[in-house]
């Protein structure tokens, strides 16, 4: 299998989920990079400074990529000469995170894409849940409207029963308790539910219980980044 190669490279750089820099990759090559794409320039510059990865930003270009269109992405991909780096604010770029349109535009230009290993809250939560990791669905966010959210949960539970796939849902911290309330109202008592909060952080907490046992606890989830996983 071969493909024409432009000689250019786009690096995809994950950023640790919490302040504890547990996993360190060899990012020394970044000192050669002049073009940076990221969700929030200030966050990326803070990360680069804190980890002493770039001594000076003077001849570097930083481009924000949140909410860009396909045509913006094509213009940005044209800047990848000979190399650029796409950063996430936390976790893996392009996964529950912006960036995939630039990667797609880069593929069109035969730019080599080099994804670097790092923390993914989705993978950490799934590993630690004890639920099925052979097949799974990541839904992103469930709807804000309650009736729509409950319908989504109902459908996802049916999928879990039929296909044995683990269902993974993300929520913004201040809505964690609203989502948990809907999950406990809709899911069967025997369904296993994992709540995984503040992954890799000081207050990491990953608990898997049957829905009937969660109901007995009357918990209020903290307002920290949390993933909810359920299945059989």
Q: Which residues bind its own copies (CB under 8 A)?
A: 1-3, 12, 16, 22-26, 92-97, 99-101, 103-107, 113-120, 122-140, 165, 192, 195, 197, 199-200, 204-209, 217, 219-222
| Residue 194: CB minimum distance to its own copies, A | 8
Pick the closer one to its own copies by CB: 57 or 96: 96
Query: What count of other Cβ atoms lies within 10 Å of the Cβ of residue 154?
Result: 12
Cβ contact 227:125 at 8 Å: yes
> How is residue 63 written in tokens?
């481009």
- Please identify which residue in the block is written with the tokens 């990953």: 206
| Residue 117: CB minimum distance to its own copies, A | 4
Query: What count of other Cβ atoms lies within 10 Å of the Cβ of residue 143?
Result: 12
| Residue 63: CB minimum distance to its own copies, A | 17
Cα separation values, 185 from 33, 160, 164, 228, Å: 51, 17, 21, 15
What is the C-alpha separation between 230 and 199, in angstroms, rounded?
A: 17
Q: 3-state class of 185 per DSSP? A: helix
> Taking the CA of residue 49 as centre, how many other CA atoms within 13 Å lie in the half-sphere pointing to its CB?
8
Pick the closer one to its own copies by CB: 113 or 186: 113
Pick the closer one to its own copies by CB: 57 or 207: 207
| Residue 56: CB minimum distance to its own copies, A | 26
Pick the closer one to its own copies by CB: 54 or 176: 176
| Residue 182: CB minimum distance to its own copies, A | 17
Pick the closer one to its own copies by CB: 57 or 123: 123
């Amino acid at each position: 299998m071969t493909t024409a190669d432009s000689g250019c490279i786009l690096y995809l750089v994950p950023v640790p989920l919490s302040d504890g820099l547990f996993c360190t990759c060899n990012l020394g090559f970044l000192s050669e990079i002049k073009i940076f794409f990221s969700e929030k320039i200030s966050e990326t510059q803070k990360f680069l400074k804190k980890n002493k990865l770039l001594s000076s930003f003077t001849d570097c270009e930083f481009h924000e990529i949140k909410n860009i269109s396909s045509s913006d992405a094509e213009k940005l991909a044209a800047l990848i000469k000979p190399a650029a780096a796409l950063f996430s604010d936390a976790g893996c770029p392009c996964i529950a995170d912006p960036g995939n349109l630039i990667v797609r535009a880069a593929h069109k230009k035969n730019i080599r894409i080099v994804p670097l290993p790092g923390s993914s809250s989705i993978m950490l939560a799934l590993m630690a849940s004890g639920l099925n990791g052979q097949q799974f669905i990541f839904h992103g966010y469930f709807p804000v409207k309650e009736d729509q959210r409950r319908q989504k949960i109902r459908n996802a539970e049916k999928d879990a029963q039929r296909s044995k796939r683990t269902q993974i849902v993300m929520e913004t911290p201040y809505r964690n308790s609203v989502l948990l309330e809907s999950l406990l109202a809709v899911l069967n008592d025997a369904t296993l539910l994992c709540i995984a909060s503040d992954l890799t952080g000081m207050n990491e907490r990953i608990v898997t219980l049957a829905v009937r046992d969660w109901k007995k606890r009357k918990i209020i989830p903290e307002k920290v980044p949390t993933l909810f996983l359920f299945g059989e």
